[in-house]
Structure 1
Amino acid sequence: MLTHLSIKNYALIDELNVSFTSGFTTITGETGAGKSILLGGLSLVLGKRADLSSLKNKEAKCIIEAEFAISNYGLKSYFEINDLDYAATTWLRREILPSGKSRAFVNDTPVTLDILSGLGAQLVDIHSQHQTLRLTENDFQFRVIDALAENQKLIEKYTVILAKYKGFIKDLEELRDFERNASKELDYNSFLLEELEKATLKDGILEALEEEYDQLSNVERIIELLSQSGKILNDEQIGLLSSSTILQQASQKLSDYGKQFTSLNERVQSIAIELTDIASELESLQEDVEANPNRLEEVNGQLQLLHDLFKKHQVSTVIELEEIKIELSEKVDSSLNIDAKIKEKENLLASVTIDLNKLASAIHSNRNRVIPQLKELLTNSLSNLGMPSASFKIEIEPTESFKVNGKDNLIFLFSANKGYDYGELKKVASGGELSRIMLTIKSVLANYEQLPTLMFDEIDTGVSGEISSKMGDIMQKMGSSMQVFSITHLPQVASKGASQFKVFKEETGESTRTDMRKLTNDERVNELAEMLGGKNLSDSALAHARQLLQ
């Protein structure tokens, strides 16, 4: 519930600080005193968009803060989802800077306007003339029926499964679109895949093929160089092997003459061994190297295929070709298995359709069960509010399509007088009648839902006397289980509040300011008497005011 409201530098308000309690609170004041300004400030801190014209002093910022006790509202998940620190006592703050920019905070954490308005909607329900029009909308009418029918959990389950249902419908459409194009795409993709499968695609293959091609195409020159190298090593007169033998013998003898020759001998022996190995490897290479025109042609073909594939697929590496091959393989596989995938998705869709129909049927039955009860509640309450002939025609018609809250169409018609045809609320109900119907419905909802703080903005417009008193009784009763505010011009309603605040306007010098204060019991008597008989307080008006308060 709203426990404190602070407004600085907003419209005609310099600075306002006011605290509230639970129950039913009434707010009064003369026309033009600034009650709408109070609502405007509250709306801003609840997330309504602001503009620079809201500032009283254009050179200072506007700050609006509201404190709420929220432990009974079940809002921890909202705080977790939006990464906010939860507190049983939560502060909302809105700042409007002279530049026109706006900032929003929840418990001193900066938040977006969407997060603030999402939270605000769960804390305060400001009932204005615009909100009365919601009464004429099907979704609000369904909400009332479903509250009485206790359909909330069923609708929650239905909503989850409906999301799956819509997902499967979308998947099936995509699969069937794919199926329609699959035949022509399959042939082309299969051809491209077959080309890639002919090529050896592995990391390093291009470099290996280029090296092999270079060797095969220069085999005669390689043989010539190997032969020349072998002669240099093996010539009997001047060959390196013969010379190294002589060098080995000399260095071996030198090593007998001192340690300083030992290292030299070891190096010579090492060179001789290395030359022998080189000679052996040259001989082996000479035996292995031979002209192979068939292999040369094969390697050349593989290289040409790779370069053609590079050009066709507009890539430059074998790895990229491998990726394309995998992608094509998946496409071909999808095309070949599309029927099985469609069948699998159809089975899933059929399963959730059965579940949805079961839930929709249960929701429909519950709605039909409570419609007589709802009609009785509405007609009895409206009869007490001066509409004895008011009646409703409420019918649920099952449909074949899945809607957001079931498979029903709702007929919600109204007649204010006997002998008149039923019609849509927005066409046949006056503004005063709509206000009384909305108040009645809100009172019904209060028994079945955990409603946020309700702020009624002159819901009693167009009524007076005994009817207004009964409307006050309804709001007073609602206040026994929740926090309710009523901005009113009627003393019969104002007197029903557990507490009463007055909004007033003061002129000081060249400026005008709006303020608000809680009235004492004596001040309430005077305020009610003034509402009854004007500024000149008569004894009869004062007596009547005291009677109303009793």
Structure 2
Amino acid sequence: MLQTLHIKNFALIEQLHIDFSGSFSTITGETGAGKSILLGALGLVLGNRADLTSLKDKEQKCMVEAHFNIGDYQLNEFFAQNDMDYEDTTIIRREILPSGKSRAFVNDTPINLQELQQLGEYLIDIHSQQQTRELSDELYQMQILDAVAGNNNLLVTYKKQYTLYKEVLSKLKKLQDQKASLSKEQDYNAFLLQELVTANLKAGEQEELEESLEMLSNVEFIKESVAKALAIANEEQLGALQNLKDIKNSLQKISSLSAEYAGYYERVSSLVIELDDITGSLAEGYEKLADDPAELERVNQKLQLIYALQKKHQAATVADLLTIQEELESKVVLVENIDDAIKQQEDEAEKAKAITDGTAAKLYEARQKAIPVLTEKITAILSQLGMPNARFKFEVAVTESYFNNGKDQMSLLFSGNKGTDFGLMKKVASGGEMSRIMLAVKAVLANYSKLPSIIFDEIDTGVSGEIANKMGDIMKNMSQQMQVMAITHLPQIAAKGDRQYKVFKTTQGDNTVSELKLLTHDERVREIAEMLSGKDVSDSALNHARALLN
């Protein structure tokens, strides 16, 4: 329930602090006194959009703070899911800065507007003329019926099952789309794959082939160069190897004289060994060098094939081509196996559909059972409110479509008088009738669901006299189970409140300010008397006011 509301620098309100009770409170005041401002401020803490026009003093920030007792609302999980600190007495604060920036806090934790709006739905139901029009909305009508049917747990189960069913259908469609797309490319992909498989590519093969091509293309030049190198090295008298050996022998004779000469000797000895090894290898390789036109042609053709495939697939290396080959293999295999995957997913879809349909059928059955109960309760209340001949026709039909609340479609027809045909409520019900119907609906719902605090904003529009008195009784009865507040122009309803608040304007110099105060008993007598007879209050009006309060 709403315990406290503090408003600062909002519209015509400079500063206001008011405490509310948990029973039935009425709010009165002349037209234009600021009742809508009060609702506007409350709307801010429930997540409504705000702008700079909300600031009374454009140089100061606007602040609205509300304290709620939410111990009975079972909101611990909601707070945990949204990373907010839970407190039985929760404080919501909304600030609008002169810069236009808006901030929201729940128990001093910053939150965004979407989270605030979701929380607000659990806290206060502000009934306005706009919400009365919601009676004509099929979704709202179904929510009323589900509340009476006690379908909350079934609806939670259905939504989970329906979500899973949609996920399965989504995967099935992706597979079907994938098959259609891949089937168009199947022949071409198979051709590309066969081309790569036939090429029998190996990682690192390109570099080896390019080296082989260089060798085979220049075999005569290589033989000539190797032969010359061997001749220079191995010539008996003047060959490089013989000369190194002579140098080695000369240094050996003096190597024992100093460490320096010994070092030279060791180094030249190493050169002799190295050159001897090189010439041996060159001679061995020389024997193997020979023209091989067939091998040259094979290497050249394989390289040309690799170059052509790289150009075709825009690949830089053989490794890239092998990666493309693997991807093509996956695509070809996928097309070959996708029918099995589709069949498996179709089976999953059938199972999910059967489970979802089963829960939807239970919802339908529960709704059918609830229709006569809801109809009887609403018509009984409307009879008290001067509509004894009101008749409703709730029709729920199963469809092939799936909605977030089942597979049913609702149509609600209404007849307000004997001898009149049923028609759509928004077309055949007057404003006064719609207000009374909405009050009856709220009164019924109060017995079936834990409604938040409710504020009726002039639900008494279009009614007067004894009907207004009955409306007041109904709201007072509702307040035994929940916090009820009613903004009203009717004295009969105002007098039913356990508390009465008055909204009024005062002028301070050139400044107009809206204020709200809790009325004492004597002030209530005066206020209700003025509502009965105007500013010039007569003794009879005062007596009538006292009678209403008693």
Range of TM-score over shorter length: over 0.9
Counterpart residue number, 2:10: 10
| Alpha-carbon distance change, 373 to 319 in structure 1, aligned in 2, over 3 angstroms | same
| Alpha-carbon distance change, 253 to 351 in structure 1, aligned in 2, over 3 angstroms | same
Q: TM-score, normalised by structure 2?
A: 0.92
Deviations 1:303-348 (A, max 9, x none): 2223223322334344443443333222222222232122112111
- AA matched with 2:225: L
| Alpha-carbon distance change, 538 to 310 in structure 1, aligned in 2, over 3 angstroms | same
| Alpha-carbon distance change, 522 to 323 in structure 1, aligned in 2, over 3 angstroms | farther
* Residues 162 and 356, structure 2, Cα contact 8 Å, conserved in 1: yes
CA RMSD after TM alignment: 2.4
In structure 2, distance between residues paired with 1:69 and 1:489: 29
- 1:89-488 → structure 2 map (5 Å cutoff): 89-199=89-199, 204-488=204-488
CA deviation after TM superposition for structure 1 residue 288, in Å: 4.1
Counterpart residue number, 1:491: 491
* Segment of structure 1 superposing worse, 469-478 or 362-371: 469-478
Counterpart residue number, 1:59: 59
* Residues 182 and 331, structure 2, Cα contact 8 Å, conserved in 1: no
What SS is found at the alignment partner of 1:514? strand
What SS is found at the alignment partner of 2:382? helix
- AA matched with 2:210: E
| Alpha-carbon distance change, 88 to 201 in structure 1, aligned in 2, over 3 angstroms | farther
- Alignment size in residue pairs: 550
| Alpha-carbon distance change, 105 to 246 in structure 1, aligned in 2, over 3 angstroms | same
CA deviation after TM superposition for structure 1 residue 35, in Å: 0.3
What SS is found at the alignment partner of 1:271? helix
Deviations 1:192-229 (A, max 9, x none): 22223344556544333323322222222222222222
In structure 1, distance between residues paired with 2:65 and 2:295: 86
What SS is found at the alignment partner of 1:410? strand
CA deviation after TM superposition for structure 1 residue 30, in Å: 1.3
In structure 1, distance between residues paired with 2:88 and 2:201: 64
- AA matched with 1:74: Q
In structure 2, distance between residues paired with 1:279 and 1:350: 81
Deviations 1:415-472 (A, max 9, x none): 1112221111111111111111111211222222222221110111122233222222
| Alpha-carbon distance change, 85 to 251 in structure 1, aligned in 2, over 3 angstroms | farther
CA deviation after TM superposition for structure 1 residue 132, in Å: 0.6
| Alpha-carbon distance change, 266 to 391 in structure 1, aligned in 2, over 3 angstroms | same
* Segment of structure 1 superposing worse, 509-518 or 317-326: 317-326
Counterpart residue number, 1:504: 504
| Alpha-carbon distance change, 204 to 25 in structure 1, aligned in 2, over 3 angstroms | farther
Deviations 1:335-362 (A, max 9, x none): 2223212211211111111101111111
In structure 2, distance between residues paired with 1:196 and 1:393: 72
CA deviation after TM superposition for structure 1 residue 363, in Å: 1.0
* Segment of structure 1 superposing worse, 488-497 or 375-384: 488-497
In structure 2, distance between residues paired with 1:130 and 1:508: 35
* Segment of structure 1 superposing worse, 338-347 or 324-333: 324-333
- AA matched with 2:362: A
- AA matched with 2:9: N
- AA matched with 2:229: S
Counterpart residue number, 2:24: 24
CA deviation after TM superposition for structure 1 residue 23, in Å: 2.4
In structure 1, distance between residues paired with 2:427 and 2:255: 125
| Alpha-carbon distance change, 318 to 231 in structure 1, aligned in 2, over 3 angstroms | same
* Residues 175 and 338, structure 2, Cα contact 8 Å, conserved in 1: yes
In structure 2, distance between residues paired with 1:232 and 1:200: 45
What SS is found at the alignment partner of 1:309? helix
In structure 2, distance between residues paired with 1:474 and 1:100: 42
Segments of structure 2 that go 5 or more residues without pairing to the other structure are none
In structure 1, distance between residues paired with 2:268 and 2:420: 127
* Segment of structure 1 superposing worse, 526-535 or 69-78: 69-78
In structure 2, distance between residues paired with 1:299 and 1:527: 109
CA deviation after TM superposition for structure 1 residue 485, in Å: 1.5
What SS is found at the alignment partner of 1:462? coil
In structure 1, distance between residues paired with 2:133 and 2:246: 117
In structure 1, distance between residues paired with 2:111 and 2:175: 41
In structure 1, distance between residues paired with 2:290 and 2:548: 122
| Alpha-carbon distance change, 206 to 105 in structure 1, aligned in 2, over 3 angstroms | farther
Segments of structure 1 that go 5 or more residues without pairing to the other structure are none
| Alpha-carbon distance change, 223 to 62 in structure 1, aligned in 2, over 3 angstroms | same
In structure 2, distance between residues paired with 1:317 and 1:69: 70
In structure 2, distance between residues paired with 1:76 and 1:201: 63
What SS is found at the alignment partner of 1:104? strand
In structure 1, distance between residues paired with 2:246 and 2:91: 102
In structure 2, distance between residues paired with 1:69 and 1:50: 25
- AA matched with 1:42: L
Alignment identity in percent? 52
- AA matched with 2:343: K
* Residues 158 and 405, structure 2, Cα contact 8 Å, conserved in 1: yes
What SS is found at the alignment partner of 1:257? coil
What SS is found at the alignment partner of 2:255? helix
Counterpart residue number, 1:70: 70
- AA matched with 1:120: G
| Alpha-carbon distance change, 294 to 497 in structure 1, aligned in 2, over 3 angstroms | farther
In structure 2, distance between residues paired with 1:511 and 1:416: 49
| Alpha-carbon distance change, 215 to 473 in structure 1, aligned in 2, over 3 angstroms | farther
- AA matched with 1:277: D
Deviations 1:376-414 (A, max 9, x none): 111111112221111211222222332222222223211
- AA matched with 1:542: L
